[in-house]
Structure 1
Amino acid sequence: MLVILIIILLALLVIVGNPLDNNDDTFTSSSLNSEDKGNLSISITGDVMFGRKTPAVLGEGNPYRYVSNVIGSSDLLIVNTENPFTTSSNAVKPDVPLKASPEYIDLINGTNYTVLSANANNHVFDYGIEGMQDSIENLNSKNIAHIGAGNNKAEATEPFVMEKNGHKITVFNYMDSENFAEYSQEIMPKATDNTPGYSAWDDNESPKQIQQARENGSDFIIVYTHYGNEYSRTPNEKQVDISHKAIDAGADTVVGSHAHVTQGMEVYNGKPIFYNLGNFIFDQSNPATHRAYFVNFDVRGENVTANIYPVDIINYLPHYMDQSSGRALLEELNPQCEQLEITDNGTGIIKFNITNETKK
């Protein structure tokens, strides 16, 4: 009889629900869906270099401090690191070899969350394979994520993947090797299956990698490319070709660095391309290299607002431009983007959807 009563009580608990489990939190399918595809903030900067003259200001605190209201709250901050972090004195590249002391690695992280060092560039091997390996080891020691260079092609081309707030973000980093054909494989090595090097864009393999990321469930794919002609304010044909191929393969945006000056924007098949951001933390003396912009992607569900912030590089560090200067920079970019809205504050906005066509 007792056994029968216990069975009846258990059945009632299943039907009515266990009153001991009741609390103020209501977990339903609708509340779960509201948590999926939540908000994200992703910032991408141009060239960052902590060597040569910049240590003169690096000891004064956070080098992002003048733009920290945006950078500091980014869930992901991506920077193009234009130097290996090494103490090596064996410069391999004969012209303009750059390096930075490992003591400055912590300063790359200008956000309270995740920072990613993009290393597919023409300076990561300035101190040879030893310098690159030193740099990766030093970044790892500080838990700084990195992409774009490695001990073989698999390492160099492996994307960075982050899952947060229901989103799966994938970041690829490539360099256009055609820009540096004058350098030998010993000085600026492309990664191969068995040898160290940087991640070189490949017209066949790279789009397949991007497509695979889309097939694997990534809903926001960023391709960060090191390409273009230095000091040219206009993208070359190869930049356009790479960017279009990346978008066609499934990328949601392409962002460029390397030129040290700004180049314009384009919306292609509903997705924005930023051909060159210019510098961000750098010590070049040419005034043209002191005007730049960075991009912050405000992701809300499937809708994305790309906020474009013009900056002046003053004493090697980025400062927001005033309204009139910011408007002037955005209006002179080449190419001009018809979907770009210039705000009253002198910043820019491009709205797009990570599944559908760009909204004007």
Structure 2
Amino acid sequence: MAIKKSIYFPVVLLLMLFLAGCQGSNPDTQVENHKKKDTYLSEKDKMNKQITLSAVGDILIHDRVYDDARVKDTFNFMPMLDRVDSYLKASSVTFANQETMVGGEEIGLSGYPRFNSPYEIGEALKKAGVDVVSLANNHTLDHGEEAIHNAINYWKEKDMMYTGAYESKADQGKLRIYETNEDISLAFLAYTYGTNGITEPENKDYLVNQIDEQQIATEIAEAEKQADVVVLSLHFGDEYERLPNERQKDLVQFAADQGADIILGHHPHVLQPVEWVEGKGGKRSFVIYSLGNFFSGQDEFYRRIGGVLTLTLTKEEKKGEEAKVKISNPQFLPTFVTFTNESDYKVVPMYQLKETDLPDAKKHYNEIKDHMTRWMEELQFPEQ
């Protein structure tokens, strides 16, 4: 991945190029150096390294959503995200589940049940502050290999880290590691429970990662060697169910036992609570069983609710010991998709909703807070 650039005097630029040329590259690792945001530290924390990680759920672009975004011969999704982009940009690293392939208009746009989205949604996410996208979900193969290749070429052009779907076996073999300015690295892994019965072409199982415990265990072990934090994205669970099923819980426990630090769930299209899960050796992993729909055209009440999860990651330096990263300060900003007559779609923080946006808005907001804190009372809800 390319390093984001700034403008310097020529001598400094030459020095930077020389230093960059001296750095080795790992052919089995896709790395992005994070140059976007600084993290503000307290005096106490300046002794340690610290970043924030944010995550949002499903970006599920129905035809009514991209029709609403259409402007002459292009699409403009930015106004739909302008109420939440400051929260996405505020974090050091921001993750999203890109539920629909951005295969572009050349292969035909489509909504449910087999999605294909315009490239411009990817541009909007990039501008809004998203840094990493998961492409492993039940709609990955909706338009076959061509849509996947189109999407990956687009993400590469936009210098966006992607994980979970790949253009080749070699691409699949590259561990996605995101390097930050604070010397904290994050490995991103992603898998899906299935692809709606659509199978990959023969010998092309690299097109999408399916949930396989042996593969997950192997890749977590390798990620632990190369990164400070392992972030596991799992597309699993029962659609529209607000609590995780036993298979979700078992798989999360398995992942925690293997060493996953953060587990981000999605697929149910509704929010499921957060929890600390203790793995082997007593290490705690953070899990959100479902991030819900962040941006979609679904109209049932709970399917319009998503949110921005934010975690603080601190690398604690202790003399004579290997540095470890502590996960703390979990926060969740519930969001709601507003619209009128299948137009004017907007993602809005729930605490900002007015009665004209949603009757009994405050009551609904408090109910969501109760739901998300079911197993973690210390979860905070920013309102600024």
2: CA distance, partners of 1:59 / 1:36: 43
What residue is the counterpart of 1:258 in the other structure? 267
CA contact (8 A) 2:99 2:137 kept: yes
1:147-226 matched pairs, under 5 angstroms: 147-156=163-172, 158-164=174-180, 165-177=182-194, 183-185=197-199, 189=200, 194-216=204-226, 218-226=227-235
Corresponding letter in the other structure for 2:185: K
1:295-310 matched pairs, under 5 angstroms: 295-301=309-315, 302-303=325-326, 304-310=328-334
2: CA distance, partners of 1:39 / 1:103: 33
- How far the C-alpha of 1:111 sits from its partner, in A, is 4.6
Cα pair distance change 1:201/1:166, threshold 3 Å: same
Q: Residue 148 of structure 2: which of 132, 138, 153 is its match?
A: 132
1:239-279, Cα deviation, whole Å (9 max, x unpaired): 11221111111111101111111112221112221000110
- How far the C-alpha of 1:76 sits from its partner, in A, is 1.3
- How far the C-alpha of 1:103 sits from its partner, in A, is 3.2
Greater C-alpha radius of gyration: 1
| Partner-residue secondary structure (3-state), 2:131 | strand
- How far the C-alpha of 1:227 sits from its partner, in A, is 0.7
1:317-336 matched pairs, under 5 angstroms: 317-322=346-351, 324-333=363-372, 336=374
Cα pair distance change 1:72/1:237, threshold 3 Å: same
CA contact (8 A) 1:102 1:138 kept: yes
- How far the C-alpha of 1:121 sits from its partner, in A, is 0.8
| Partner-residue secondary structure (3-state), 1:100 | coil
CA contact (8 A) 2:107 2:147 kept: no
Corresponding letter in the other structure for 1:209: E
What residue is the counterpart of 1:53 in the other structure? 64
| Partner-residue secondary structure (3-state), 1:53 | helix
1:220-235 matched pairs, under 5 angstroms: 220-235=229-244
1: CA distance, partners of 2:100 / 2:347: 18
Cα pair distance change 1:192/1:162, threshold 3 Å: farther
1: CA distance, partners of 2:206 / 2:259: 28
> What TM-score, normalized by structure 2, do the two folds share?
0.71
Cα pair distance change 1:157/1:172, threshold 3 Å: farther
CA contact (8 A) 2:77 2:124 kept: no
Cα pair distance change 1:37/1:155, threshold 3 Å: farther
CA contact (8 A) 1:210 1:250 kept: yes
1:23-38 matched pairs, under 5 angstroms: 37-38=48-49
Q: Is the counterpart of residue 280 in structure 1 residue 294 in structure 2? A: yes
Q: Identity of paired residues, percent? A: 19
Cα pair distance change 1:343/1:308, threshold 3 Å: closer
CA contact (8 A) 2:293 2:304 kept: yes
| Partner-residue secondary structure (3-state), 2:369 | helix
Cα pair distance change 1:44/1:206, threshold 3 Å: same
Cα pair distance change 1:176/1:156, threshold 3 Å: farther
Cα pair distance change 1:208/1:285, threshold 3 Å: same
Higher deviation after alignment, 164-173 or 100-109: 100-109
Structure 2 residues not aligned, in runs of 5+: 1-44, 70-74, 279-283, 316-324, 340-344, 352-361
Q: Is the counterpart of residue 42 in structure 1 residue 63 in structure 2? A: no
1: CA distance, partners of 2:248 / 2:240: 14
Aligned residue pairs, count: 302
